[in-house]
Structure 1
Amino acid sequence: MGEAMGPVDWFGVVLAVIAAMAVAAIWYKTFSRPLAMSAGPGGLEVRRRPLRTIAATIGLIIPPAILLGHMFARLSDPSKWWLYPMMSGGVALFFVIPALWTNYLHQRNPRAIALIDAGYWLCAYLAMGLVFFLRA
């Protein structure tokens, strides 16, 4: 996989996934009450299998971490620190959040839930970008 893709900082990918999961733990602990209130009665059911949810979340965060690792490994001048938040935040702001928001509009989810989730993804991508910057 590494040969076909080109360079990737694989240890950075692992650290980026850990960073995104740490942001998730803090973010969703902080916003658990507003999320529950926005969803209304019966809107957010309590997860019966939290380990399954965590494992699935890790699995879903690995591909974007690999993509960021690949993008940052190809920077011609890694000393340009602003490229890390610009690229990682840009992916969140211009790809992830619009896709998420489109789904929420069609599902008619409350705006508060969309804002909380959008904030998470922006912070998660910025955290992953920070990891790759610190490893450059």
Structure 2
Amino acid sequence: MLEVNWLAIVLAALAGFVVGGIWYGPVMGKKWMGAVGLTEEQVKDGKMGMIYGGAFLFSLVASWTLAHTFASYASYGAELSVFAKVMTAFGAALGFIVPAIGTNYLFSQKGKTLFFIDAGYWLLFYIAMGLVHAYMP
């Protein structure tokens, strides 16, 4: 079994969560609400405990997967630099997450604005997680 740094996993998930709070709050919040067709009242009326709790659990899964990936590389003797870890995280988002949401948005006929807002978030989310995992191996 590969050893992972559980504190780094939690902190990286939190870092991604903080990025989301900033991105979908003051940076892109109003544009995002317009792109998904929600009002501030509708957002506030949502089941925030379930939404935030579920989102954090998904963030933990993503962070654990990234930690496991780095531990797998290390088990074969690879010593990745901070830059390599951040670029690996960014590449995972750019190569897997962005195309997946892009495909979903094409078939659900969502607008380009929503795609770019969400794609930008996921790129930043994974960069933040990559930084935490890079500095807390």
TM-score range for the pair, normalised by the shorter chain length: 0.7 to 0.9
Structure 1 length-normalised TM? 0.87
- How does 1:98-113 map onto structure 2 within 5 Å? 98-113=99-114
What CA distance in whole angstroms lies between the structure 2 residues aligned with 1:37 and 1:14? 32
Shift of 1:81: 2.2
Shift of 1:86: 1.3
Contact map agreement 1:17 1:62 (CA 8 A) in 2: yes
Shift of 1:36: 2.4
Contact map agreement 1:23 1:123 (CA 8 A) in 2: yes
Q: Percent identity?
A: 32
Task: Determine the structure 2 residue equivalent to 1:27.
Answer: 23
Shift of 1:105: 0.5
Structure 2, unpaired ranges of 5+: none
Contact map agreement 1:93 1:122 (CA 8 A) in 2: yes
Task: Give the 3-state SS of the residue equivalent to 1:28 in structure 2.
Answer: helix
Contact map agreement 1:38 1:113 (CA 8 A) in 2: yes
Task: Give the 3-state SS of the residue equivalent to 1:115 in structure 2.
Answer: helix
Task: Determine the structure 2 residue equivalent to 1:58.
Answer: 56
Structure 2 length-normalised TM? 0.87
Task: Give the 3-state SS of the residue equivalent to 2:82 in structure 1.
Answer: coil
Contact map agreement 2:82 2:131 (CA 8 A) in 1: no
Contact map agreement 1:88 1:126 (CA 8 A) in 2: yes
Shift of 1:8: 1.2
Shift of 1:35: 1.5
Which is richer in helix?
2
Instruction: State the Cα deviation string for residues 13-53 of structure 1 (Å, max 9, x = none).
Output: 001110010001000002111122333xxx22424211211
Task: Report the RMSD for the aligned CA atoms in angstroms.
Answer: 1.3
Structure 1, unpaired ranges of 5+: none
Contact map agreement 1:84 1:129 (CA 8 A) in 2: yes
What CA distance in whole angstroms lies between the structure 2 residues aligned with 1:119 and 1:38? 14
What CA distance in whole angstroms lies between the structure 1 residues aligned with 2:116 and 2:6? 31
Q: Does 1:14 align with 2:10?
A: yes
Task: Determine the structure 2 residue equivalent to 1:36.
Answer: 33
What CA distance in whole angstroms lies between the structure 2 residues aligned with 1:15 and 1:57? 15
Contact map agreement 1:9 1:70 (CA 8 A) in 2: no
Task: Determine the structure 1 residue equivalent to 2:83.
Answer: 82
> Size of the alignment, in residue pairs?
128
